Amino acid sequence: MTHGRFSPSLRRRLLFLLIGNVVLLLAIAVTMKQGGSFADVLTRCGPDVAPVVLAGIGMTGIICTGAIDLSIASIIVVAGTVFGILARRQMPPLLCFAACVGTALLLSITNGLLIRALRLPAIIITLAGLALYRGVALVLADVAIPGFGGSIDLPRDEYHSPGKQFATPLLLLALGGALIWEWFAVTPRRWLALGSSEEACRLAGLNPHAIRRSAFAVGGLFLGLAALLYVTQIQFIEPARLALGFELQVIGAVILGGTNIFGGEGGYGGTALGALFLYFTGQWMTYAGISPYFQEAITGAIIIGVIGLDCGLHRRRKRMEELA
Amino acid sequence: MRFWLLPLILLGEIALFTALSGQSFSPASGATSYFRSYFADLLCQSAPVLLLAFGMTVILMTAGIDLSAGSMVALVACAMASFPAGPGFWWTAVPAGLALALLLGATNGALIAWLDVPPIIATLGTMILYRGLCFVVMGDLEKSPFLNVPAYEWLGQPGGAALLLALTFALGGCWLKRSRWLREILMLGGNPVAARYAGIPASRRIVQVYTLAGGLAFLAALAFTARNSSVSASSLTGLELQVIVAVVLGGTRVQGGAGSLLGSFYGVLIIAVMDEGLRGAAQWGARNLPFKLSHLEYILLGLLLVVGVWLNTRGRKPADNRPPG
């Protein structure tokens, strides 16, 4: 069975998200009260959604190989803490930004290497990383900042420029580059191959471990960008509380975007649309005056609804394939 | 699974932290009473996690996972807290809580078994949904009707906690160990297609497993509210990860098909002892370390998880510990 670059289910999901986003934007425009400006919604959208989209792009590659990274929030915390420590010591801003991205890249590569070295499932290694990296960030802050009281504040404006001024251009640049690269390069196809069947990959002369490592390395690069935009948007970096639950938000966007959680299917475009869909849903609920207490429940119901419906519709075909 | 490993880690931890806490047993009789209250506290403190770990172990055996465990306990506790206090609480709130918990668990099961949603996605969704419902039920309030319910507090004391744990782990565990039901669950986790060919009602079993986890979430909610006596919509955030770490540390495989209830029991206690011990050794840490000792907990937890699982899988045949992704 051939179906081009995207499988029918992925194509259907992309179409749904595309239409859904347009409908949500229209709904926001309609429900907007007097004095609210629609252009404002669009300009705010870039910085707000950038960390989730960028981290989601990194996660998409990792999930495509059949692995998962639960430690991304903690990696962002370590990167943010390193950034905060350097910024507090008045290092030049560019060095701080590079250190932030570099830390995330390094930790993500470490995850990939550990999976191979210890021969444990990715979910276990990164579950351990989820706890471990946050602890490392706290200890780092304790040791490097005298009188550390739980939060690092960044007083000067030049340390905030990526998140506050250049978030949208950076996001568009990274997203555009990622989409073009995904379309033309070989590596993302190899990730999908690995996710479909590690055994077939090996028999075809590809090295599964190298492919998985490359997914974690590319993922780390995008995660570093996400971390940079995340921590330069906020005034205080609190290692104990920063980005709590961010990994689930990102995984939610990735799977809503049509990437198969078991690997072998998915793409960057879907992830970006999925993240936008969740963001616009939240915005629309705010504009429509829905009580904030209901918003989380509705978000959860939407995730379950979209994916449950999709899975339910394919159930029969999947069963037949399984038993064939 | 190496049976001696986990108790050994546990004993080592207790010895280490007792030494660090600066406790002195000058009359030897002090040791008995110290350890008696120590273990009683430990049991009450970790009763909710232990109860959840029981359900999580069975779920992991089916190659599933339940990310919604923490939200589920919180929602059941919030719902029970909305009932008026008084003796009538036992006949209204408690059965309602049980029914709700079973319903929430069955919802997870139905999504996974009947709609074929992968467990991690289904329970990720319900985790957000149930937590959202907590806010719908409670808003920003913190309620504590549990204080005015006769005999409720007893559930949070050593006697009550021991009863709940004995009911699940001793009775339930012994029955499960010999049951056909558990064998079918393990087979389902090991090879779902083979299980279906063998005539095991796969969907029904999955729904049963998640409903059982719901029931245990109800017991956990009882134990939690009896000990903490108040609950808010954001209570118990992140509990699911704690439970999963403990269960995995106990030697249950996330790929399904194998697991140990006793191992999970040890896993929870190892983490609880570490948590408590680091708090007790805070003074020692302040004197000797350049960072807060409590911050070390995350690092130790991560290391413990990796090392524990690694030691447990090391002896297996190569085919078993190949990283599946």
The total of other beta-carbon atoms located within 10 Å of residue B127's CB is 24
**Residues B116 and A318: beta-carbon distance below 8 Å:** yes
Q: What is the pLDDT of residues B175-188, one digit of tens each?
A: 888 899 999 999 99
Q: In terms of CA atoms, which chain B residue is nearest residue A191?
A: B325
- What is the percent of chain B with per-residue pLDDT over 70, rounded to a whole number? 94
| pLDDT tens across the length of chain A (324 residues) | 445 677 888 888 899 999 999 999 999 888 877 667 788 888 888 899 999 999 999 999 999 999 999 899 999 999 999 999 999 888 898 999 999 999 999 999 999 999 999 888 898 899 889 889 999 999 999 888 887 878 888 777 778 888 888 899 999 999 999 999 999 999 999 999 999 999 999 999 999 999 999 999 999 999 999 999 999 998 888 888 888 878 888 988 998 898 988 888 899 999 999 999 999 998 898 888 888 888 888 888 888 888 888 777 777 777 777 666
- Write the residue in B129, B132, B299 that is nearest to A132 by C-beta: B299
From chain B, pick out residues whose CB is under 8 angstroms from the CB of A114.
306
**Residues A150 and A238: beta-carbon distance below 8 Å:** yes
Q: Would you call A248 and B67 a contact, using CB atoms and an 8 Å cutoff?
A: yes
Beta-carbon contacts below 8 Å between A and B: 178
What confidence score (pLDDT) does residue B321 get?
42
Nearest CA of chain A to the CA of B127: how many Å?
A: 8
From chain A, pick out residues whose CB is under 8 angstroms from the CB of B238.
244
Distant-in-sequence, close-in-space partners of A177: CB < 8 Å, separation ≥ 6: none
Nearest CA of chain B to the CA of A132: how many Å?
A: 4
Q: Would you call B302 and A129 a contact, using CB atoms and an 8 Å cutoff?
A: yes
Q: In terms of CA atoms, which chain A residue is nearest residue B241?
A: A127
Q: In terms of CA atoms, which chain A residue is nearest residue B122?
A: A304
Q: Would you call B245 and A303 a contact, using CB atoms and an 8 Å cutoff?
A: no
Q: In terms of CA atoms, which chain A residue is nearest residue B324?
A: A121
Tokens of B117: 């949603």
What are the mean pLDDT values of chain B's consecutive 10-residue runs (325 residues total)? Answer: 78 86 72 84 91 94 92 95 87 94 96 89 89 91 85 85 90 87 92 90 94 96 90 86 88 84 92 87 80 83 83 58 43
What confidence score (pLDDT) does residue B171 get?
87
Encode chain A in three state secondary structure: CCCCCCCHHHHHHHHHHHHHHHHHHHHHHHHCCCCCCHHHHHHHHHHHHHHHHHHHHHHHHHHHCCCCCCCHHHHHHHHHHHHHHHHHCCCCHHHHHHHHHHHHHHHHHHHHHHHHHHCCCHHHHHHHHHHHHHHHHHHHHHHHCCCCCCCEECCCHHHHHHHHCCHHHHHHHHHHHHHHHHHHCCHHHHHHHHHHCHHHHHHCCCCHHHHHHHHHHHHHHHHHHHHHHHHCCCCEECCCCCCCCHHHHHHHHHHHCCCCCCCCCCCHHHHHHHHHHHHHHHHHHHHCCCCHHHHHHHHHHHHHHHHHHHHHHCHHHHHHHHHC
Q: How many angstroms separate the Cα of B53 from the Cα of each of A8, A88, A123, A300, B93?
A: 39, 43, 18, 24, 24
What confidence score (pLDDT) does residue A204 get?
93
d(CA A266, CA A7): 9
Q: Which of the residues A13, A113, A304, A307 would you substitute to probe the B interface, choosing the one with the greatest number of B C-beta atoms within 10 Å?
A: A304
**Residues B227 and A110: beta-carbon distance below 8 Å:** no
From chain A, pick out residues whose CB is under 8 angstroms from the CB of B322.
119
Model ipTM value: 0.83
What confidence score (pLDDT) does residue A323 get?
65
- Write the residue in B291, B301, B323 that is nearest to A142 by C-beta: B291
What confidence score (pLDDT) does residue A314 get?
73
From chain B, pick out residues whose CB is under 8 angstroms from the CB of A254.
none
